[in-house]
Amino acid sequence: MYIAMFGHYTATVTFVVIVCLGFWSHRYLPAFMQFHGTKMGLVALLAGSVAVTYLCSFATKSLTRLFYTPPAQQNGLSRVPKVRHVVLDESIVGGKRVFLVGDVHGCYDEMMELLHKADAMREDTVVIFVGDMVNKGPKSWEVLDFLRRSKVYAVKGNHEDHVLREYDNSRNPEYKLPQKYTWVGKLTNEEAEYLRELPYTISLPTFNIIVVHAGLVPGRSLEEQSDYEMMTVRNVVKTEEGKFEARKRATEGQPWAAEWTGPQHVVFGHDAIRRLQVYDHATGLDTGCLYGGNLTGLFLLGEGERKFVSVKSRQSYTSGVKVNQF
């Protein structure tokens, strides 16, 4: 409907402008040329043609902005989940082990090996993934299929967000998926909706733990945290007012986790550059499985007891991590 309206109004405006130019040329151009000369008349005609071209172009752009809506927006699509922050209370985790898994990135074989080594698929174990379960690695769809079929939890990482962006873009038949996202073209709507509804954080009050993909900015409440920064932050810088600001790159400021003082202990991923990170109030689990490192999990066993479990990556699936590539 919008495209039809866009075409109708653009054609109408163009027609009106051309009619006006034609009327001017017929009514006034001969007299203008007789008074000012042929050369000046031709210059005036050329200037009028340029003006028509500009006005038509302006009308097209203006009406495009006014009436045309990209397909993803037409469908009302959003990458923000209905529930941004999830709480797993005592009724879910009480008396159970909790196993937190670092960034899988489509490394399905290593994921299954880790879960088997940790014996984490038992009924008495709650498994939570810290985001970036898919993308870059060799078996992203297999990982996604496992997540959907299993009774596990996960938070949304920046790569789940990227997948959704490409999936929504691909609903436009004219859009061509980039090579690294060709697998996204095979996703069903149900699979995309699973990723869409992943929360940004999962809180575990029983363990005083909060799980997030990239991190939290110190000094802000959970509701004040930016969705984007929870998926991308690595460092923070302190302003003159004493507040912290998030930074995506690890080259400016300090690791956000080094500045985090609680009250909850944060378990996160995302930062393969620094590999395993252990701070007083935060633990980073991305140990670079995608890059030939390890896939690491963390058991919460109660009363503050924690245990790391790790498996070696079978190979490097992409080029090495460089600080300046983010």
Residue with tokens 């920064």: 229
What is the reported pLDDT for 37? 63
Write phi, then psi, for 312 (nearest 5 degrees): -80, 140
Give the pLDDT confidence of 158-178 residue by residue, as tens digits.
999 999 999 999 999 999 999
* AA identity, residue 233: V
Spatial contact of 104 and 114, defined as CB atoms under 8 Å apart: no
DSSP string covering 155-222? ---HHHHHHHHHHHHTTSTT----GGGGGGGG--HHHHHHHHT--SEEEEGGGTEEEESS---TT--G
CA distance linking residue 149 with residue 56, whole number of Å: 54
For the question of whether the overall pTM of this predicted structure is more than 0.85, the answer is no
Class at the top of the CATH hierarchy for domain 85-325: alpha beta
Taking Cα atoms as reference points, which of 186, 174, 215 lies closest to residue 70? 174
Q: Where does 241-316 show beta strands of DSSP type E?
A: 244-247, 254-255, 265-268, 277-278, 282-284, 294-302, 305-312
Give every CB contact of residue 43 below 8 A, 6+ residues apart in sequence: none
Half-sphere exposure at residue 177, Cβ-oriented, CA atoms within 13 angstroms: 18
DSSP code of 279? Answer: -
What is the reported pLDDT for 114? 98
Write phi, then psi, for 246 (nearest 5 degrees): -80, 150
Helix axes 38-67, 2-27, angle to 10 degrees: 170
Mind listing the pLDDT tens digit of every residue in the chain (326 residues)? 333 333 444 444 444 445 455 554 556 556 655 656 665 655 555 655 545 545 545 444 444 333 333 333 334 468 999 999 999 999 999 999 999 999 999 999 999 999 999 999 999 999 999 999 999 999 999 999 999 999 999 999 999 999 999 999 999 999 999 999 999 999 999 999 999 999 999 999 999 999 999 999 999 999 999 999 999 999 999 999 999 999 999 999 999 999 999 899 999 999 999 999 999 999 999 999 999 999 999 999 877 789 999 999 999 998 655 433 33
CA distance linking residue 274 with residue 215, whole number of Å: 14
Give the pLDDT confidence of 179-216 residue by residue, as tens digits.
999 999 999 999 999 999 999 999 999 999 999 999 99
Count of beta carbons in the 10 Å neighbourhood of residue 277: 16
CA distance linking residue 246 with residue 215, whole number of Å: 9
CA distance linking residue 286 with residue 231, whole number of Å: 13
What is the reported pLDDT for 140? 97
Show the tokens assigned to 260: 């985090």
Domain boundaries, the chain: 2-68, 85-325
